[in-house]
Amino acid sequence: MLVNNFDEITEGSRSNIFFIKGSKLYTAPKEDVLVGITRIKVIEIANKLGFEVVEDKIKVSQISEFEACFLTGTSPKVLPISYIDSYAYNVNNDILRNIMREYDKMINNEPLYVK
């Protein structure tokens, strides 16, 4: 997990990070991260499923406020996080599992383009 000089969580190394609280997903603003295709697709899926995505600065001191957490990226796809330091997250969170399932369906149905 990368943290900037203002003690704000930005992203993972080679991945983006999302937090879940209630029916909302929270992630750093796009101007603070490398916007990858997996991040874009996960946001699209969340919106399609009716979950609000809040792009806002997240302080390290806020991590205990969230119920679930996950990374996104080409290799990890949608990867649940169990712990950050001593704080435990629910890896079986319904929203997280729905996003994982929809993302897997999406990538398995898209044609592979080779140049």
Range 2-109 has CATH code 3.40.1190.20: no
CB 96 within 8 A of CB 67: no
* Extents of the domains making up the chain: 2-109
Q: What does the alpha-carbon distance between residue 7 and residue 15 come to, in Å, rounded to a whole number?
A: 18
pLDDT digits (tens, 9 = 90+) for 67-102: 999 999 888 899 999 999 899 999 999 999 999 999
pLDDT digits (tens, 9 = 90+) for 3-54: 888 887 877 777 899 999 999 999 999 888 888 889 999 999 999 999 999 9
pTM of the model: 0.88
Give the H or E element holding residue 73.
Answer: strand 68-73
